[in-house]
Amino acid sequence: MQIATQPFSQAPAKHGVAADAAPRPANPDWTVEQGWEHYSAADHATWKTLFERQTRLLPGRACDAFLQGLRDLPIDAHQIPDFRRVNTALLRRTGWQLVAVPGLVPDAVFFGHLAERRFPAGNFIRSAGQLDYLEEPDVFHDVFGHVPMLMNPAMANFIQAYGQGGLRAQQLGQLAQLARVYWYTVEFGLLQQGHGLRIYGAGIVSSFSETRYALDDASPNRLRFCLERVMRTRYRIDDLQETYFVIHDLDELLALAQTDFAPLYARVAGQPDYQPSDVLPTDTVFHRGTRAYQAARAASTTRAG
Ligand code: HBI
Ligand code: FE
């Protein structure tokens, strides 16, 4: 996945492919100290602003597992969480822990950590002037967005399996296809809960604009998740998504974690990609997007440029 440059006034917090430009840190696994003592009052204030505006939006939008995970963690508005305290709760619940990294790390390093149930989390926080714009995943995206779901056993197993599968996919030249599965689930997934849709994806739940857009806006497609279809679907890294895929419940991730991807890579290889906006005759459609948001964006870009 890609963090790239985001017009993040619109877009969510996300992630990137290899961190080629970053200087190689002293540790071969790229970990650093969180350095919790070094956060400034302004850093904690930024966290508070982000935390409060997100938690106001989440009841009725985030799935129950996310809200429960958040309640069970020592994470609140007052200060940037101390990874040591978070890890006590997380280790006890699902055997996961956070490790601090300075930003994006190379794919292989990222997968190596996930395979060992270590989630690399940025130790820095975005600046107060860029609350909605992120080039690399920071501590708010990584901790607020991802850690509540890591308290859930299905998600805990799925992300570990992604780490294990990532190294294999790289060797097979199929990483792009696997990364799409992560993107459309862990980062931008929706699920069915009762009669409605709810958010479980970290990229949505950590983004002020996308939290409402993903569920309430008429623009994007909301389609039933289908593994092979998703493996062939490109995604946007620099703007709000054009399509969200919906799973029945988190147990569907458990099944995904146990899936052998090798035959799927073989089938998908050589078949054309789908565009982020495509709706196929074979899709189960919860909502067909109007694309109004994308049309307005295109119009304003044309006028400006
Ligand atoms: N590094 N810190 C960090 N966080 C990520 O989410 C991340 C990364 N490196 C690579 C990566 N994601 C993705 O490109 C892989 O999931 C494919
Ligand atoms: Fe993320």
Q: Do β-strands 190-193 and 221-224 pair in parallel, antiparallel, or remain unpaired?
A: unpaired
* Mean pLDDT of all residues belonging to the chain: 91
**Chain length of the chain:** 305
pTM above 0.85, yes or no: yes
Phi-psi region of 58 (alpha: psi -120 to 50; beta: other; left: phi over 0): alpha
**Long-range CB contacts (within 8 A, 24+) of 88-92:** 89/151, 90/147, 90/150, 90/151
Question: Ligand 1 within 6 A of 120 CB?
Answer: yes
The rounded Å distance from CA 111 to ligand 1 centre is: 8
Residue 201 CA to residue 190 CA, distance in Å, equals: 7
Tell me the residue ranges of DSSP E strands in the chain. 97-101, 118-122, 190-193, 196-199, 221-224, 243-247, 285-287
Contact 188, 241 (CB under 8 A): yes
Give the nearest ligand 1 atom to 105 CA: 1
Contact 94, 150 (CB under 8 A): yes
How high is the pLDDT of residue 23?
A: 65
* Structure tokens, 290: 């109007």
Question: pLDDT tens digit string along 234-262?
Answer: 999 989 999 999 999 999 999 999 999 99
The rounded Å distance from CA 110 to ligand 1 centre is: 6
Give the nearest ligand 1 atom to 122 CA: 2
- DSSP, collapsed to helix, strand or coil, labels residue 224 as strand
Residue 33 CA to residue 74 CA, distance in Å, equals: 19
Tell me the domain boundaries of the chain: 2-261+268-304
Residue 151 CA to residue 133 CA, distance in Å, equals: 27
Question: Ligand 1 within 6 A of 100 CB?
Answer: no
Give the nearest ligand 1 atom to 109 CA: 9
Residue 125 CA to residue 35 CA, distance in Å, equals: 12
Residue 304 CA to residue 296 CA, distance in Å, equals: 12
Contact 178, 166 (CB under 8 A): yes
**Long-range CB contacts (within 8 A, 24+) of 124-129:** 125/39, 125/43, 125/46, 125/47, 125/80, 126/46, 127/46, 128/42, 128/45, 128/46, 128/49
Which CATH code, of 1.10.540.10, 3.40.140.10, 1.10.800.10, 1.10.10.10, is assigned to 2-261+268-304? 1.10.800.10
In angstroms, how far is CA 244 from the centroid of its own chain? Answer: 12
Name the residue with the closest Cα to ligand 1, atom 14.
17
Handedness of CA 145, 233, 214, 1 (dihedral sign): positive
* Structure tokens, 67: 């809200």
Low-confidence ranges of the chain (pLDDT < 70): 1-24, 303-305
**Exposed (0-12), middle (13-18) or buried (19+): which is 89, by Cβ within 10 Å?**
middle
Residues 6+ apart with CB under 8 A from 39: 79, 80, 125
CA atoms lying within 13 Å on the CB side of residue 66: 29
Question: Ligand 1 within 6 A of 1 CB?
Answer: yes
How high is the pLDDT of residue 241?
A: 97
In the chain, the amino acid numbered 191 is L
